[in-house]
Amino acid sequence: MMNAQNELESTSVHCDNTDEFQAALEAACGYRGDVTLHFKDGSSIEGYVFDLKRADSAHHAVRILPKDGRSRMTVAESTIQSLSFTGKDAAAGKTWENWMRRYAEKKLKGEAAGIESEPLD
């Protein structure tokens, strides 16, 4: 079953479609992969979008942690031409329940949380 996060991978949205663009910005904050912001001046930045700042209707901004190691940046939404979901969602298809099941299985085998199996005498 494909979920919404998987469907975002490789998707691009242009700012001309306001409703779709706003929805894409919201989705970018929940996306656990890299997003590339393409700016109106022709430049771009790829990284992890982690916050939207909505001070008022005229002042919106996106906060991004650039992939190239630069410190966190706040980018005015008005400077963005388009955004692309360029990275793979690291958690796509993974659920808490599946993680817990795998953890419990490993723990029973003595592999989880640094527990090593000791031979029984």
Structural domains of the chain ordered from first start: 4-109 (2.30.30.100)
As a 3-state breakdown, the chain gives helix, strand, coil percent values, each rounded to 5, of 30, 30, 40
Cα separation, 115 vs 87, whole angstroms? 34
Tens of pLDDT, residue by residue over 68-107, are 989 999 999 999 999 999 987 766 666 777 778 888 888 8
Instruction: Indicate yes or no: pTM above 0.85.
Output: no
Two structure tokens written together for 104: 């419990």
* Residue that wins the pLDDT comparison between 120 and 86: 86
* Residue that wins the pLDDT comparison between 90 and 64: 64
Q: What's the pLDDT at 63?
A: 94
Q: What's the pLDDT at 4?
A: 47
Q: What's the pLDDT at 120?
A: 53
Q: What's the pLDDT at 10?
A: 65
Cα separation, 115 vs 110, whole angstroms? 5
* Residue that wins the pLDDT comparison between 30 and 37: 37
